[in-house]
Amino acid sequence: MDTYQQIEQLLNNFYSLIEEINNSLRYNDEKVPLEKLHKITDDIIKQLKQLHIEYEKKVFHL
């Protein structure tokens, strides 16, 4: 998998996680635990960091 494919995959994962948070907040009838939302946001942060690293590698040829 090349860097562009990795970046695309990370972006897709990011959007999915954001949608999950959004839906959890919108339809919070079941009272989604904060721990679940924290895990989702932790995953987003990790993926964004990875995306940033891959971007810099590609753009700056590191």
Averaged pLDDT in 10-residue chunks for the chain of 62 residues = 77 82 74 76 84 82 66
**Sign of CA pseudo-dihedral 7, 49, 41, 18:** negative
| Cα–Cα distances in angstroms (integers) from residue 24 to residues 9, 44, 60, in the given order | 22, 15, 38
Amino acid 22: pLDDT = 80
Q: Please report where in the chains the tokens 């810099």 appear, as a residue.
A: 56
pTM recorded for the entire structure: 0.55
| Largest distance between two CA atoms of the chain | 48
